[in-house]
Structure formats: structure tokens, C-alpha cells
């Protein structure tokens, strides 16, 4: 499962070995200035939708990029039974690759509060 580190300037997501294969990256860093909204989701599998490039094990996991044709472009690492976050981004400020991050994180509520605090202190 992905790990998220929050610094004073950005969010860094470190992907596990299997996730690296499907996301085609070991990590992603997004500036705090690019974060528009953070939402805790009980079932992050439902938050990922659209055409995809990645792993979709029905009802178990979604890992990769969703929304390739229509809708928000999402970087996803979501698993059944794990709470998660949907982080909406300003795509240009985030580097132009993604509109949203959808991630399973065991400490999703605490992480969301911390991100919101850091983002608020930068505005």
C-alpha cells in the first residue's frame, strides 16, 4: 500500500513494488499549492472511474491511471476494506499529469486533517 509523507511544501506518495508496476512510477510529489480539496472516502475503489491503464481486480484493487478519455485524470492505488483519500488537484500546479489522487491509507482521517492544516497555512 502507498505511503504518503507530508512536508511543509508538498505531498510525496511512495508506491509499493506492485503499485510501481501499474502506476509506472516509484513516487509522486505534489506541491501543497496544487491541493484544492481533500475528502476521506470509506470505499476508495468506488472513487476511481473511467477508462484506465492499470490493474483492476474487480472488488479487490485498482492501481494505475483512471479517466484517460473522459473525466478527471486520477492516479489510483485503492484496495477493498481500506479507507482512503481523494485529493483534488489543480492539474497545472501539480505538474500537468493528474486532476486527482485516489489512495487507500490506513490513517486517512488523520492524514486528511494534516493536509488541510498544511494547505491552510500556505494560503
Half-sphere exposure of 1 (CA within 13 A, CB side): 19
What pLDDT score does 122 carry? Answer: 75
Question: b/e map of 13-50 (b: 16 or more CB within 10 Å)?
Answer: bebeeebbebbeeeebebebebbeebebbeebbebbbe
Task: Report pLDDT for 3.
Answer: 92
In this prediction, residue 102 carries a pLDDT of 97
Could you give the CA distance from residue 24 to residue 86 in angstroms, rounded to a whole number? 20
pLDDT of residue 71: 85
3-state secondary structure of 106: coil
pLDDT tens track of the chain, all 123 residues?
Answer: 899 999 989 999 999 999 999 999 999 999 999 999 999 999 999 999 999 999 999 999 999 999 999 889 999 999 999 999 999 999 999 988 999 999 999 899 999 999 999 998 876
For residue 88, the model assigns a pLDDT of 97
The string of DSSP letters for 64-75 reads: EEE-SSSS--EE
> What does pTM read for this prediction?
0.94
Q: Using the 8-state DSSP alphabet, how is residue 33 labeled?
A: G
Backbone angles phi, psi at 21, to 5 degrees: -60, -45
Amino acid at each position: 500500500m502507498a505511503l504518503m509523507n507530508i512536508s511543509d511544501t508538498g505531498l510525496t506518495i511512495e508506491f509499493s513494488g506492485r503499485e510501481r508496476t501499474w502506476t509506472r512510477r516509484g513516487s509522486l510529489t505534489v506541491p501543497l499549492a496544487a491541493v484544492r480539496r481533500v475528502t476521506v472516502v470509506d470505499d476508495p475503489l468506488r472513487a476511481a472511474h473511467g477508462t484506465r491503464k492499470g490493474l483492476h481486480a474487480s472488488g479487490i484493487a485498482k492501481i494505475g491511471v483512471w479517466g484517460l478519455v473522459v473525466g478527471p485524470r486520477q492516479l489510483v492505488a485503492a484496495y477493498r476494506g481500506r479507507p482512503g483519500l481523494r485529493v483534488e488537484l489543480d492539474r497545472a500546479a501539480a505538474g500537468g499529469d493528474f486532476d486527482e489522487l485516489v489512495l487507500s491509507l490506513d490513517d486517512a482521517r488523520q492524514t486528511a486533517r494534516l493536509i488541510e492544516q498544511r494547505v491552510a497555512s500556505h494560503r
